[in-house]
């Protein structure tokens, strides 16, 4: 069955970096784009951007340009999100979700806590 399994929770200090992963199984990884979505505690969903899993080309929403990097390990059917120079406002759950326009499968989410 189709699954997106994300890495575990992270506790970081301001200024540090974090890399979280999203491993896909049950389908051909390069056939579907992968989105990244942020959910701050108690808040709604915010689209961060997507990565073309065939070409590796990322597209970032305006609020996520600069410190955020989407990447792939296509041979491992894995998409990654790296956030550098972490700020308190990066504290959130980060989801990966499949499909260019569809969002049909989601990872379980990774809670990233930024605290000094």
Partner 1 sequence: DVVLTQTPPTLSATIGQSVSISCRSSQSLLHSNGNTYLNWLLQRPGQPPQLLIYLVSRLESGVPNRFSGSGSGTDFTLKISGVEAEDLGVYYCVQSTHAPWTFGGGTKLELK
Among 62, 65, 75, 116, binds partner 1 (CB under 8 A): 62
Nearest to 19 by CA among 75, 74, 72, 88: 72
Judged by CB under 8 A, the stretch of 11-19, 59-67, 68-76, 77-85 that binds partner 1 is: 59-67
Q: Which stretch binds partner 1 (CB under 8 A): 7-15, 17-25, 39-47, 79-87?
A: 39-47
Are the CB atoms for 83 and 68 separated by under 8 Å? yes
- With vertex at residue 16, the alpha carbon angle to CA 12 and CA 17, rounded to the nearest 5 degrees, is 95
Binding site for partner 1 (CB under 8 A): 35, 44-47, 49, 59, 61-62, 95, 97, 100-109
């Amino acid at each position: 069955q189709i699954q997106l399994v994300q890495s575990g929770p992270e506790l970081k200090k301001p200024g540090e970096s974090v890399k979280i992963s999203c491993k896909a199984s049950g389908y051909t990884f390069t056939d579907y784009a992968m989105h990244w979505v942020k959910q701050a505690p108690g808040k709604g969903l915010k689209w961060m951007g997507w990565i073309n899993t065939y070409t590796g080309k990322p597209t970032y929403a305006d609020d996520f340009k600069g410190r955020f990097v989407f990447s792939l390990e296509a041979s491992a059917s894995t998409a990654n999100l790296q956030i550098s120079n972490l700020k308190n406002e990066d504290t959130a759950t980060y989801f990966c979700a499949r499909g260019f326009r569809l969002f049909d499968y989601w990872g379980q989410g990774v809670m990233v806590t930024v605290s000094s």
